[in-house]
Structure 1
């Protein structure tokens, strides 16, 4: 792959129509965020811009814009199979940024300079305000609906440097303006040691990064325990669930044990931490929810495809049993939809029954812009049923439903650009809020630099303070 490779109008149009046809024929959420007429107009306008030759990056920007406009967190694109080798040739911004906090602050300094420290604010890059760069990048980044917090998380760390090269400019040097934590302004230019490998080497050597690297190491150690319960105060439990992607039998058995411990402790305040939980099995999210309800409750209203064609299913990443015996799992297509049946592969469609030893006290739910997919569904159902007070930032997944992870892995034949497009649309059992937004917290908690690097005990204390205020 060559980023400056010149693409012909004929080749680009062929690729664009290839992708458009598959979106129109197979993506059940193509018109979920924009009316059909508007979405068709957007695609027509994009195709009409392909009358002249373009460099590869110019065409990629148009494909990325189209994918982002669909507004599906499980539909995305990449430059192709050689993108990582291409990244090795780029000049990266030698700083990692965190863009979903109270300001765009540096989290890693990848230079030998020690005057710029983690926690300092990145004000501008090559004369462009960081906030304007961030908003420009939003146009090319996928998310459910019109969410932006999830995009800010996705472009943080080294991803920002990659996206800057792909969508803003590919510079040979970087002139930056930084505002230190004491308020001083620093202007510096960096034109050497801008390869990814060299930046990583310098980052590990620079003593200013020690506070972040130590915090990261401790965080990784904690993350090994992907679901756990603690009792930070008498009658208060903190249940952390880092993922719903797990062996179902093991997960359910462990959750049973954790809620037994919560009950034994005579807990009256339960804090469930779903921050940075990027999802997994909807069935497992529903299983945890069954411990919080006292009447039969729906978690998922429906799941459907807009095609049941054998060739589409065979080309997808659907389970083998669905491909070989589809009507055991889905209904035949009727009125443009093929609905999923309740089965071992879709138990989230069952009516949830309350657990005999469920928890019926106060629930506080912690979420952020990485709370995605099944974890975001959990938050939406909890909020819709008035079962939890939500603290944090808007989740990554839509409040009412969206495309599921099962889909098509496509390679555009001419350019080699790859894409994953969703085949299944999920309708959550939620009501009363904007379906183009995620779960909006009842109380916002925007992380500061101190929250990123503080010890776990300090973080818990801040959370307990927020909870006690409610």
Structure 2
């Protein structure tokens, strides 16, 4: 179960007022108490990167941060920064889980920067330009935004980026904007940390091969303008059978396979046949290499297990995975605050089994159960060679 954090009744009922009305401290602290109860009872990764004492301190700090009446935006930031402090890649204030009122109040401001970008060596580099007149060619570095250094913007937003443990590389990558989601993390939090009315933004930029920086003012994008390319892409995929991966050959004959996601549950596209066909062709061509581009890919189906058979000469046994949970049945008092597409998480029943001995890293008084419902084979799954063997080099 992904531990997304959704704002409870106190915030949802005030969403339509945006920042005009403040939410009472008592309501916010009541929400924080429910959150703490849910996390301490249910969250299997709560103590993976923090000790019990450290997490206790973080809960206390959240409660103190909510000890006064504050705006919806300030409260959302408090919960967002707390969620990020858990250091779990599946724990966040997920925008897709918020009420319509909260979405309208916080997530649709006309403040989107008019370009896609990646953080390369922590420098903001334009990858696609949407400005009027296309004044920011691909490869342009943006060094200042409304008088704030881009490096300072990145440092501030890292406080809400989600990733496991010390994986700051993922946090930085997550703060790029590339059109993969309607609610890009940068788009949501930049205007909260660095408020502006929108309409335009002042940039200092350095174009590719330029010797000097250049100052430019560009029009910001609305929410609708930001998601227009996404809607266009989705319209092209109507029917659900268009390829979600990209395959092309590079000048040296190597193949490039871009897989932005492996979450293919609802796709009607026959990705296995598509992938097997390309991999067989790759081997037939005797290509020198295969580049697997997984940037931004957060998993899903076991797509990798369909590629490995083309790269091996003998069966490979994967290490078995043990899944741990903190509870067998969700306490009744928490059920009204929990929601997900799979209701089976509420009661694992006999699938959640007592462990013969305590989990070695568990804090004193914290117990785990082993979840057997989705277990691999006792000795691990076995992947066997299949298809035509590719003998070139593989780069991930």
User: TM-score, normalising length from structure 1?
Assistant: 0.60
SS in 1 for 2:120: coil
Question: Which residue of structure 1 aligns with residue 84 of structure 2?
Answer: 68
Would you say 1:340 and 2:371 are equivalent positions?
yes
Deviation, 1:71, is 1.4
For 1:41-120, list aligned pairs within 5 A.
Answer: 41-78=57-94, 80-81=98-99, 82-86=101-105, 90-101=109-120, 103-112=123-132, 115-120=135-140
Deviation, 1:139, is 0.4
Would you say 1:147 and 2:167 are equivalent positions?
yes
Q: Which moved more, 1:143-152 or 1:86-95?
A: 86-95
Structure 1 residue corresponding to 2:203, chosen from 148, 154, 176: 176
SS in 2 for 1:317: coil
For the 8 Å contact 2:206–2:213, the answer to whether it is kept is: yes
Q: Which moved more, 1:88-97 or 1:140-149?
A: 88-97
For the 8 Å contact 1:71–1:145, the answer to whether it is kept is: yes
Structure 1 or 2: larger strand share?
A: 1
Structure 1, residues 46-79: CA drift from partner, whole Å, max 9, x if none? Answer: 2123222222222211111111011122221146
Question: Which residue of structure 2 aligns with residue 3 of structure 1?
Answer: 18
Structure 1, residues 212-254: CA drift from partner, whole Å, max 9, x if none? Answer: x9xx98xx99x94345776768996655555433369955566
Structure 2 residue corresponding to 1:167, chosen from 190, 193, 202: 193
For the 8 Å contact 1:286–1:299, the answer to whether it is kept is: no
Distance in 1, matches of 2:196 and 2:386, equals 58
In structure 2, the gaps of 5 or more residues are: 1-14, 359-366
Inter-CA distance 307–99: structure 2 relative to 1 (3 Å threshold): same
Deviation, 1:7, is 1.8
SS in 2 for 1:156: coil
Structure 1 residue corresponding to 2:47, chosen from 23, 28, 31: 31
Q: Which moved more, 1:11-20 or 1:245-254?
A: 245-254
Question: Which residue of structure 1 aligns with residue 243 of structure 2?
Answer: 225
Would you say 1:331 and 2:350 are equivalent positions?
no
Count residues in correspondence. 345
Deviation, 1:125, is 1.6
Structure 1, residues 379-426: CA drift from partner, whole Å, max 9, x if none? Answer: xxxxxxxxxxxxxxxxxxxxxxxxxxxxxxxxxxxxxxxxxxxxxxxx
Question: Which residue of structure 2 aligns with residue 245 of structure 1?
Answer: 263
SS in 1 for 2:394: strand
Structure 1, residues 310-352: CA drift from partner, whole Å, max 9, x if none? Answer: 558975537466767742x4435775222232x6x44487623
SS in 1 for 2:115: strand
Distance in 1, matches of 2:375 and 2:393, equals 27
Distance in 2, matches of 1:130 and 1:71, equals 24
Question: Which residue of structure 1 aligns with residue 381 of structure 2?
Answer: 352
Q: Which moved more, 1:181-190 or 1:311-320?
A: 311-320
Question: Which residue of structure 2 aligns with residue 317 of structure 1?
Answer: 340
Distance in 2, matches of 1:13 and 1:149, equals 33
Question: Which residue of structure 1 aligns with residue 300 of structure 2?
Answer: 280
Distance in 1, matches of 2:345 and 2:109, equals 42
Distance in 1, matches of 2:321 and 2:175, equals 33
Q: Which moved more, 1:144-153 or 1:80-89?
A: 80-89
Distance in 2, matches of 1:355 and 1:97, equals 41
Inter-CA distance 189–346: structure 2 relative to 1 (3 Å threshold): same
Over aligned residues, Cα RMSD in angstroms? 4.1
Q: Which moved more, 1:119-128 or 1:58-67?
A: 119-128
Structure 2 residue corresponding to 1:306, chosen from 306, 323, 326: 326
Distance in 2, matches of 1:199 and 1:128, equals 24
For the 8 Å contact 1:91–1:170, the answer to whether it is kept is: no
SS in 1 for 2:321: strand
Deviation, 1:309, is 0.7
Distance in 1, matches of 2:255 and 2:137, equals 36
Distance in 1, matches of 2:127 and 2:290, equals 32
For the 8 Å contact 2:111–2:221, the answer to whether it is kept is: yes
In structure 1, the gaps of 5 or more residues are: 205-212, 367-470
Distance in 2, matches of 1:244 and 1:130, equals 31
Deviation, 1:138, is 0.5
Task: Name the structure, 1 or 2, with higher relative contact order (CA <8 Å, separation 6+).
Answer: 1
Distance in 1, matches of 2:128 and 2:303, equals 36
